[in-house]
Structure 1
């Protein structure tokens, strides 16, 4: 059962699941970002109200609803072996604009599906977290660092991790929290992170706006690498209660990322692109990259797609459309 299954991470994960074999999938999504068309781009699906039995292997079922609906959570998770919780209020800026909304979505929404997993006897609960949960700490980010969230978004993700830990320790739910780096790649048409936003602006003939000096660093992880990490988190035995950094262990400045992105855009016919610097965003951290040794050791996972190759693949998807997924 996948919350947020019509979004970027959800559709990519569902596509990967179906490529692996006959998985039965139920999606809960309020369609505020992802759409039915996005889900249809990766699979055939039916719609239901989650009151019936869990879908048959090889089929995908969409339940339109909000993660704040606790009764729906209980119904939707009934019969699931694994809950993968992607649905969230994402990004620093929206959390600064409306911290209360961010808290409800990321804390209460997570709690609702932890409760559903507990009462439904779900064997594994995988939660999408973020490096923002650690906040302003000396990189590389690791699972051993003491969190100091900078933004309300980071605080809400940290709270979600804390609830995962509590439900593992108190109720025996096999939770795994994954702190994703900056995810990019095909299917990210609705995403407002740097790579997707820059590609859309370039295609529209607009300037690329870098917040701040451009020297701020991030750890850009390709979507296919992330999908593998989620699958391993859902299936590898003995990792209940753990938190993992899922990134590339490479520190890349926004300026460096743009320097790789511009040639990829030029290859697709988008050149002479203006790049400007604007005011830094409130709540942003200056340095952010991760130590992924724990994921390598316990999950057998490491990233495989380099940034230059990943950016080219991403630009191709944006320019050629869903046919290129």
Structure 2
């Protein structure tokens, strides 16, 4: 797959900057457009990994290196304009997480369903060959894990429903229009550059370093599948390189860990550095599933991908990153 001309939505975020960092070090002189509304990630986050230019609505010419476009995937004209000349779209931009989707289901739908449709239409009308969609385990919903790609989906949260809709549109655009769509269902991703994330590992480390109480929703026995960022980035690159479409993959570790267990691991790692972590339990959160971990055998078979970083090692690396930021 030709990786020279890329459009990465949400590219200023945690996963986007990590992916761009990898691509700049593994591919010679790529052209990368970053389309981001800067609600979460910032130009400063992007500047930590590379120099970049900026583009306006009157400048759609491809430029070598990284170009930042501050705009919104909900705008059809914007997505159509900046998909011109692109070989591959990596669609990371989204309204992320269960909590925000429960608070504002309509915004979640507009970002995750309409925004994804806009990107797919832009890809179709501009002749883009490859489309990588960032999904999650949320479309599967409350099922008996391990989650795999053939389970009938029963989403619990609006977020899960919106991601399921995105997967459905990706399937349709492959089968009807021939775009090589690949949906990657991310586990609970953590690691360096996650300073804006509100997910478990980043939130606990950030709260502890700020002297705040770390809140666990419910009794902490809920389980998740925690995936280190470098492992996820490898999966993204492999998905871009493979010459197929219409596929969905679970990208996780296959290991079930309780939130309470992970909190204790973080507390111990911080304690070795003389940092105290205080934990309290609050009410369970609406839309959360009780158990979640994945069967990644399809990713191993078709992508040649397996996770490599152990959770304990990943937590150590993540804490060191947060300490370096302070």
Match of 2:33 in 1: 26
Contact 1:268 1:315 in 2 (8 A): no
- Report the secondary structure of 1:243's partner residue: strand
Match of 1:217 in 2: 223
- Residues in 1 aligned to 2:109 and 2:162: alpha-carbon distance in whole angstroms: 6
Match of 1:52 in 2: 60
Match of 1:174 in 2: 180
By how many angstroms is 1:202 displaced?
A: 0.2
> Any runs of at least 4 consecutive aligned residues in structure 1 with deviations exceeding 3 A, and if so which?
none
Match of 2:114 in 1: 108
Is residue 291 from structure 1 mapped to residue 299 from structure 2 by the alignment? no
Contact 2:60 2:84 in 1 (8 A): no
- Residues in 1 aligned to 2:213 and 2:237: alpha-carbon distance in whole angstroms: 37
- Report the secondary structure of 2:12's partner residue: coil
- Residues in 2 aligned to 1:203 and 1:29: alpha-carbon distance in whole angstroms: 29
Contact 1:135 1:285 in 2 (8 A): yes
Within the candidate set 2, 5, 12, 2:11 is matched to 5
User: What is the number of residues matched between the two proteins?
Assistant: 318
Match of 1:261 in 2: 266
Gaps of 5+ in 1: none
- Residues in 1 aligned to 2:293 and 2:127: alpha-carbon distance in whole angstroms: 36
Gaps of 5+ in 2: 1-6
Within the candidate set 270, 275, 287, 2:275 is matched to 270
- Report the secondary structure of 1:118's partner residue: helix
Match of 1:281 in 2: 285
- Residues in 2 aligned to 1:78 and 1:141: alpha-carbon distance in whole angstroms: 37
Match of 1:89 in 2: 95
By how many angstroms is 1:52 displaced?
A: 2.7
What TM-score results when the alignment is normalised by the length of structure 2?
0.96
Contact 2:120 2:173 in 1 (8 A): yes
What TM-score results when the alignment is normalised by the length of structure 1?
0.96
By how many angstroms is 1:213 displaced?
A: 0.9
Is residue 241 from structure 1 mapped to residue 246 from structure 2 by the alignment? yes
Contact 2:217 2:282 in 1 (8 A): yes
Contact 1:140 1:291 in 2 (8 A): yes
Aligned-residue Cα RMSD (Å) equals: 1.0
- Report the secondary structure of 2:138's partner residue: helix
- Report the secondary structure of 2:60's partner residue: coil
